[in-house]
């Protein structure tokens, strides 16, 4: 009887683990924090230590509510190092209230309507001969370039960002982490 109870308990624990593992596997780590597909873009981004500058900029631009909305959105999220690579004083200048319009333009140039996985971007670029242009919420154009099995995002100014973390699924879209700030013309 004691062995039967122990076996039943072990089987129950294994069964419970099997049902929870897919949920844990679907979670990605970004900036030291788990990103949950049940949370929206803002709810996840605020936890990433690699995106504190982006989050501060989104707050200063008044875009928190928009990026918490239903979407779906595809966001190309620059890391703190990408903002730090901009010319000295750029971020501080953009965060000033008088520059809010310019900040909104830059941030919305990182967001497209729709939810495109990394494979979607790669396939669209490959099907189009290596590059695929699409509009952002700012009205600017980004181009996904497929090269060597990777996807790069090119902005209107010719800047090239490499996608470093792919398919961070959100309840209202997907985030792809990039290593450069994308700038409109």
Picking from 122, 124, 89, 95, the residue whose alpha carbon sits closest to that of residue 107 is 95
How far is it, in rounded angstroms, from Cα 140 to Cα 107?
Answer: 11
The DSSP secondary-structure symbol of 51 reads G
> Could you give the 3-state DSSP secondary structure of residue 166?
strand
- pTM, rounded to two decimals: 0.84
Q: What number does CATH give the domain 28-178?
A: 2.30.180.10
Residue 156 banded pLDDT, cuts 50, 70, 90:
very high
Per-residue model confidence as pLDDT tens digits over 17-64: 444 344 443 478 888 788 888 888 898 889 889 999 999 999 999 999
Residue 59 confidence (pLDDT): 93
Q: In what order do the strands lie in the sheet with 150-154?
A: 111-113, 73-78, 173-178, 160-170, 150-154, 141-147, 131-135
């Amino acid at each position: 009887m004691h062995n039967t109870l122990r076996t039943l308990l072990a089987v129950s624990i294994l069964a419970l683990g099997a049902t929870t593992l897919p949920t844990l596997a679907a979670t990605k780590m970004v900036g030291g924090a788990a990103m949950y597909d049940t949370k929206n873009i803002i709810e996840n981004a605020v936890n990433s230590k690699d995106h504190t500058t982006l989050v501060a900029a989104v707050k200063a631009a008044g875009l928190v509510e928009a990026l918490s909305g239903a979407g779906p959105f595809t966001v190309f999220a620059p890391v703190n190092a990408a903002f730090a690579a901009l010319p000295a004083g750029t971020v501080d200048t953009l965060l000033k209230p008088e520059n809010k319009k310019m900040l909104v333009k830059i941030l919305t140039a990182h967001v497209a309507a729709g939810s495109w996985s990394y494979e979607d971007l790669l396939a669209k670029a490959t099907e189009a001969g290596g590059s695929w242009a699409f509009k952002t919420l700012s009205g600017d154009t980004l181009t996904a370039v497929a090269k060597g099995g990777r996807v790069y995002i090119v902005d209107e100014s010719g800047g090239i960002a490499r996608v470093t973390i792919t398919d961070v699924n959100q309840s209202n879209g997907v985030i792809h982490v990039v290593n450069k700030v994308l700038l409109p013309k």
